[in-house]
Chain A
């Protein structure tokens, strides 16, 4: 089965390391993918808040393009790794299915550019693909450097599972737990799996955002976790890059590694760190390397 890879904007910019690690893992696991031709921004939350009609057209265009690109295939699976993209595409699909009048508007707009959305595309999160299409057995077979002894706290954030996720429990997701268990890691259970990291408020209202990130980091630290794994560019950025600010504000010493789940999975699959964009992290994941024997320290 061929997957359409829809990167969205952030995986081409701040989340470059997410893209690099995701695609490296895809290759290592023999997942056949092709990037969506001529894709556009999903509209994210900003566009949706201002003009829903146009936002739905933007998102639907990507779905229509995917259907066009895999014309004739039985299934069209579009993989959206960015949690905002994933959420917006799912929202669009659901909304258009339930509101035929808006569907007509969107189709009219798409028709202008010679496209049509047939509602066939299945929107998938990489976690969904790994766990449900590939399965834990296949994953553990492919593991070259088991994450033995590494205490992982899986952190899912908001939009990966809420409110439209098709593959997860919205209050207690487990796919990442299962994935890293298959990779040999020790999973640390916690109640912060889907708590908000502060999202874009770190850039605007820090007095709200920092405490939100703080409790997540604090709880991970308290549970003696070695690494937090995330599935969202914003989560990864907030949790990793504000640690110094948070330490200052809350008088703590919270140093903890924060990796994309694809980066950690890539390490377990034996992919060289540099292909996983590890060097693009703001701080080197010393902890992870220290524990995983044979890992190289990579510094920017």
Chain B
């Protein structure tokens, strides 16, 4: 048997299949013509058309032909490879042929769906098919690599999403490292009083999960810690975690708070972060009663001893367990993990950027998060809703969509604000009996029991005024507006501009990506959508995966989400991680690049270009080296290499040139000379 392209492969026997895709392709492309034309091309042994190539009979057709005619190349012209490349590769492999002898031509998304001109469509289909036929001549058998998966998991963020994912994975018997930036886990949910629409007490349903995390033998909880560095690839990541100093030895502290009582500051003096500055704390503190871990920490910015070293250190004397260590420094932990879940959450819109609503200017304008703390029994007012003057408000206005659905700030709907505004309206009415006005653009209450909750609120006598609030102001036009805040709004249902005087205004602030979301994105090599939330691999079919294998996302870091949705995503991410772990190994696509060492000049041009940090420099040989497990086959280095020493599987020069020749010949340019089969093979 004569050899072909020097690789010891036999002369190709190509099987070509064109799919009708029902009417999707066949109504625009003359499949019969394409099929007949392709049959005449050199190397093509079988050419067929079929209604649905992706169906079982369609796949069996290929397998039967491989066996019967000894086909060694398969080309299918159908939809996008994103959809069915895998299907056909598996079918090819089942018939005993290396799956990389299969090639797919997209004549649906690239041809039939984008034109109304049948003739042009058919011509283009022929064009693309011919290129593919000429390309597969040069295909080589490739083997997928298998790498083992480290079963340990890193979860970033100890909000409800991170907690739920951690417990799910840990309960399956796998080891989890839960890293939280704040001194306690619990996230935003720990700040809430009640949850919509059931009005469950947030703490009652959250704190059991928090202590379960703390006590779980499979979970290592590192609070007050951040990821410094991560490297590696799916199944084999290595991370460095920075554990910030609390100046208290976590293992010794039992959270008795004797040190806090003993602090030389008799009164709390500094704004309490957990209560958003509405109450005070001492330099040594615990964020809130159910904080997990129940360990105190020092704030070096406010503790006298850190500033002047002249404190009597009554706190140290008070601690029976000698847990206080003012000389503590940051600790670094290195861990090996196989997969990561990012559940880093969100931040709320800074209402100061909407100056027309007077936040920061008028003392009785609050954000919704501040009100959540206020209605919470452990909050700054012990659950009382009070104005800054310390009185119960008689009327409260809740302004929706502050930092949401706004051309000037954030264009997106924050999804949770309508519902939490309803909840706050209910709680304010319950706590104070005040008249409550909701100013909304549209009420968005999709969700189980949500619309019913809205209905309940309307029956409770909460007012709903449809219109975006123009401004919150203290200028009074009438006597009843004096010494009040007046909300100016166009009531779009009545068609008039209204002025509604209230004692207190609550701004329903929207949800935003965290400030450092893009740093995290870079560190973990994933993408962000335009608004800055982490981007999922597919909005519908891969909602918790990212474009980096082994890195998953859950909760509001992916987009605004309420608690049920965050928990659902956390469960989904945990399932994805467990599926990886249970597989034990992962197959890596072989379309990777590799260096031909004898041609590599060691110029290092390729190294900074690689978006996946897959290329390193071997100092001993002075050559570049590509880690196949990290390489995604983007081809950037191949194009950049000045000495042409990088080769990419499935995109080798001769394969690409073959494809180009096929295209150009259609355009009337014949690079290969005459059309005879013999010549064509000779050229190859």
Residues of A within 8 A of B (CB): 169, 171-172, 189-192, 215, 218-219, 222
Contacts and interface: CB of A to CB of B under 8 A. Distances in A.
Contact of B475 (A169, A171, A172, A215): A215
Contacts of B474: 191
B355 A169 contact: yes
B489 to A, nearest CB: 15
11 contacts: A169-B355, A171-B356, A172-B356, A190-B475, A191-B356, A191-B471, A191-B475, A192-B475, A215-B475, A219-B475, A222-B475
A232 to B, nearest CB: 20
A172 B358 CA distance: 10
B477 interface: yes
B195 interface: no
B361 interface: yes
B473 interface: yes
Interface string B331-364: 0000000000000000000000011101001000
Give the dominant DSSP class at A's interface.
loop
A172 B477 contact: no
Contact of A191 (B354, B358, B477): B358
B475 A189 contact: no
B356 A215 contact: no
B399 to A, nearest CB: 14
Most buried by B among A191, A192, A215, A219: A191
A68 to B, nearest CB: 37
Nearest to B474: A191
Interface of B: 354-356, 358, 361, 471, 473-477
Contact of A218 (B356, B358, B473, B475): B475
B275 to A, nearest CB: 26
Contacts of B471: 191
A300 to B, nearest CB: 32
A169 B361 CA distance: 15
Contacts of A169: 355
B471 to A, nearest CB: 7
B514 to A, nearest CB: 24
A189 B475 CA distance: 12
B361 A189 contact: yes
A43 B474 CA distance: 37
Contacts of A218: 475
Contact of B477 (A171, A190, A192, A215): A215
A222 B481 CA distance: 13
Across the A-B interface, give the 8 residue pairs with the lowest CB-CB distance, nearest first.
Answer: A172-B355, A191-B473, A219-B475, A171-B355, A171-B356, A215-B475, A191-B475, A191-B474
Given A169-B355, A191-B361, 17 more contacts: A171-B354, A171-B355, A171-B356, A172-B355, A172-B356, A189-B361, A190-B475, A191-B358, A191-B471, A191-B473, A191-B474, A191-B475, A192-B475, A215-B477, A218-B475, A219-B475, A222-B476
Nearest to B354: A171
A189 B477 CA distance: 18
A170 to B, nearest CB: 8
Nearest to B486: A191
A214 to B, nearest CB: 9
A192 B473 CA distance: 9
B409 to A, nearest CB: 11
A218 B474 CA distance: 12
A169 B474 CA distance: 20
A219 B354 CA distance: 21
B484 to A, nearest CB: 13
Contacts of A171: 354-356
Contacts of B354: 171
A44 B473 CA distance: 31
Contacts of A172: 355-356
Nearest to A218: B475
Nearest to B488: A191
B355 to A, nearest CB: 3
B397 to A, nearest CB: 15
Contacts of B356: 171-172, 191
A210 to B, nearest CB: 14
Nearest to A170: B408
Most buried by A among B354, B474, B475, B477: B475
A23 B630 CA distance: 66
Contacts of A215: 475, 477
A218 B355 CA distance: 21
Nearest to B482: A222
Contacts of A192: 475
Nearest to B477: A215
A169 B473 CA distance: 18
Nearest to A193: B355
A182 B404 CA distance: 36
Contacts of A190: 475
Contacts of B475: 190-192, 215, 218-219, 222
A219 B355 CA distance: 18
A43 B302 CA distance: 59
A254 B216 CA distance: 71
Contacts of A189: 361
B487 to A, nearest CB: 12
A169 B352 CA distance: 12
B403 to A, nearest CB: 13
A213 to B, nearest CB: 13
A219 B356 CA distance: 16
Nearest to B360: A172
Nearest to B356: A171
Contacts of A191: 356, 358, 361, 471, 473-475
Contacts of B476: 222
Nearest to B476: A222
A202 to B, nearest CB: 19
Nearest to A211: B477
Most buried by A among B354, B355, B474, B476: B355
Nearest to B355: A172
B206 to A, nearest CB: 38
A189 B361 CA distance: 9
A218 B476 CA distance: 9
B350 to A, nearest CB: 13
A190 B476 CA distance: 12
A172 B353 CA distance: 9
A151 to B, nearest CB: 17
A222 B476 CA distance: 10
A276 B284 CA distance: 59
Contacts of B361: 189, 191
B398 to A, nearest CB: 20
Contacts of A222: 475-476
A23 to B, nearest CB: 33
Nearest to A169: B355
A252 to B, nearest CB: 13
A282 B356 CA distance: 33
Nearest to B361: A189
A192 B476 CA distance: 12
Nearest to B352: A172
A111 B118 CA distance: 49
A192 B474 CA distance: 10
Contacts of B473: 191
A106 B354 CA distance: 38
A215 B488 CA distance: 14
A42 B270 CA distance: 55
A205 B257 CA distance: 70
A179 B473 CA distance: 24
Contacts of B477: 215
A173 to B, nearest CB: 9
A192 B354 CA distance: 15
Contacts of B355: 169, 171-172
A152 B476 CA distance: 20
A216 to B, nearest CB: 9
A215 B471 CA distance: 15
B565 to A, nearest CB: 33
A13 B358 CA distance: 38
A72 B426 CA distance: 67
B496 to A, nearest CB: 16
